[in-house]
């Protein structure tokens, strides 16, 4: 009887090991596959390359981390109205080429914009890189959505956690490259935000 009990226990542990090792449709246990095909981190073994960031800063980070990474040399511009954000905010404008929106209540990062030469994302795309290289890198993992207002959004990518990373190749024509993108174009600005902050949804 004792031998039968041990066999049942061993079988149960084997089933549990298989379930934990192949959850999320065959992906590692710390990832899950969305219908869109985008993989998102769901456990504790975080892969930092899958956490959208610019200059090492993620949306939702505390303002103290921004100071830790970029320093305290910035001009603070307060906004009493929330605008497209969820709360009133301040802009930290760094002369080096960073503009960080910080929630006045939460003290958290709401949006990141970078024009600093060499400023990069978690996947290594940087301000100054060629469009062809950056688009190939991101198109291998993410989709360029269609705006709810109609039209494609070249250079805009739907990434993890419902966020959007935008590669702006001509700052003079707006944020989302309405004139399209030429492969030899150069990244002039990188923005990490949420679609709703752009008055869009995708």
Range of the domain at 37: 2-41
182 token code pair:
């030429």
Together in a domain, 154 and 70: yes
Query: Span 142-161, mean pLDDT?
Result: 85
Together in a domain, 162 and 84: yes
Together in a domain, 139 and 116: yes
Together in a domain, 60 and 135: yes
Determine what percent of the chain is predicted with pLDDT higher than 90.
55
pLDDT tens for 157-192 read 999 999 999 999 988 877 666 667 888 899 999 999
> For residues 100 and 92, what is the distance between their CA atoms, to the nearest angstrom?
5
Together in a domain, 91 and 28: no
Per the structure, how many domains does the chain have? 2
The SS3 assignment for 96 reads: coil
Beta-sheet pairing, 189-193 with 109-114: antiparallel
Determine what percent of the chain is predicted with pLDDT higher than 70.
70
Together in a domain, 164 and 75: yes
Together in a domain, 110 and 32: no
115 token code pair:
């024009």
Together in a domain, 15 and 94: no
Tell me the pLDDT of the chain averaged across its residues. Answer: 79
Together in a domain, 60 and 121: yes
Q: 35 or 51: which carries more pLDDT confidence?
A: 51
Q: What global pTM score does this model have?
A: 0.74
pLDDT tens for 88-137 read 999 999 999 999 999 999 999 999 999 999 999 999 999 999 999 999 99
Angle at 125 between CA 43 and CA 189, to 5 degrees: 115
Q: Are 145 and 139 in contact (CB under 8 A)?
A: no
């Amino acid at each position: 009887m004792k031998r039968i009990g041990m066999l049942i226990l061993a079988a149960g542990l084997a089933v549990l090991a298989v379930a934990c090792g192949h959850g999320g449709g065959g992906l590692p246990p710390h990832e899950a596959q969305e219908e869109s095909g985008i993989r998102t981190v769901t456990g504790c073994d975080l892969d930092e390359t899958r956490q959208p960031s610019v200059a090492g800063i993620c949306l939702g980070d505390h303002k103290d981390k921004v100071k830790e990474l970029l320093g305290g040399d910035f001009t603070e511009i307060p906004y009493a109205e929330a605008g497209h954000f969820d709360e009133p905010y301040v802009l930290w404008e760094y002369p080096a080429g960073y503009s960080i929106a910080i929630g006045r209540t939460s003290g958290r990062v709401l949006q990141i914009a970078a024009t600093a030469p060499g400023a990069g994302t978690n996947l290594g795309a940087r301000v100054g890189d060629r469009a062809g290289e950056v688009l190939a890198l991101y198109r291998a993992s993410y989709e360029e959505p269609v705006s709810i207002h109609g039209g494609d959004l070249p250079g805009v990518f739907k990434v993890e956690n419902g966020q959007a990373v935008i590669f702006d190749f001509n700052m003079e024509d707006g944020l989302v490259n309405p004139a399209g993108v030429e492969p030899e174009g150069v990244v002039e600005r990188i923005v990490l935000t949420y679609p709703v902050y752009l008055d869009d949804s995708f």
